[in-house]
């Protein structure tokens, strides 16, 4: 594992189902909760990985990490799922859902000297229907991290075969 410092940033809150702006996924508990069964069918069981059920062992949402001034390049994550139809909810423009690709990889978050199990969660930018992040941001699904808040600094432990953070070029 390699490490890089990151700042916790506010995201769209659709992964957790707590968005006040895009509430399409709130009733279902968020996009992560909807995607987990599809990931499990393809060999990644979140409950087994985190050692328990959602909301107890891990958060059913994502933690946005700003790696500025580094941009993230996807290299070869442990899991690459292609063509997942995880919802029947139409997009904001009224278009039907389509197939989406995902990259996931083992990771850890270090906060205030303690290590928490995590998974890099990277919807493929080529198939993601909305809620885009800048290339300096990466999302993770993680164990519950007490007292973490926006603006906090964390250390991301990641597999260098999965992603390659590099300083942005001008």
- Which pTM was predicted? 0.91
Domain of residue 26 covers 2-167
- CATH assignment at residue 152: 2.40.30.30
91 pLDDT more than 80: no
Instruction: Report the mean per-residue pLDDT for the chain.
Output: 92
The pLDDT of 134-156, averaged and rounded, is 96
Which of 54, 62, 151, 70 lies closest to 104, judged by CA? 62
54 pLDDT more than 80: yes
- Lowest mean per-residue pLDDT among 6-10, 24-28, 128-132, 157-161: 128-132
Give how many domains the chain has, as a whole number.
1
Burial of 91 (0-12, 13-18, 19+ CB in 10 A): middle
Sort strands 153-158 and 63-66 into parallel, antiparallel or unpaired: unpaired
The pLDDT of 64-89, averaged and rounded, is 94
- Lowest mean per-residue pLDDT among 9-13, 33-37, 52-56, 72-76: 9-13
Burial of 170 (0-12, 13-18, 19+ CB in 10 A): exposed
Residue 129 pLDDT = 63
Distances (CA, A) of 118 to 75, 152, 168: 18, 17, 25
Residue 37 pLDDT = 96
pLDDT in tens, 104-124: 999 999 999 999 999 999 998
DSSP label at 78?
S
130 pLDDT more than 90: no
132 pLDDT more than 70: no
- Is the distance from CB of 51 to CB of 142 less than 8 angstroms? no
């Amino acid at each position: 594992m390699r490490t890089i410092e990151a700042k916790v940033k506010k995201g769209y809150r659709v992964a957790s189902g707590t968005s006040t702006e895009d509430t399409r996924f709130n009733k279902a508990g968020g996009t992560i909760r909807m995607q987990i069964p599809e990931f499990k069918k393809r060999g990644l069981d979140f409950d087994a990985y985190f050692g328990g059920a959602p909301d107890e062992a891990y958060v059913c949402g994502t933690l946005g990490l700003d790696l500025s001034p580094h941009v993230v390049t996807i290299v070869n994550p442990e899991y690459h799922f292609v063509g997942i139809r995880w919802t029947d909810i139409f997009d904001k423009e009224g278009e039907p859902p389509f197939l989406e690709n995902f990259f996931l990889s083992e990771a850890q978050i270090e906060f205030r000297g303690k290590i928490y199990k995590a998974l890099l969660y990277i919807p493929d930018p080529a198939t993601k229907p909305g809620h885009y992040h800048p290339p300096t941001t990466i999302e993770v699904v993680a164990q519950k991290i007490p007292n973490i808040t926006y603006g906090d600094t964390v250390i991301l432990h990641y597999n260098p075969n999965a992603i390659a953070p590099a300083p942005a070029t001008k």
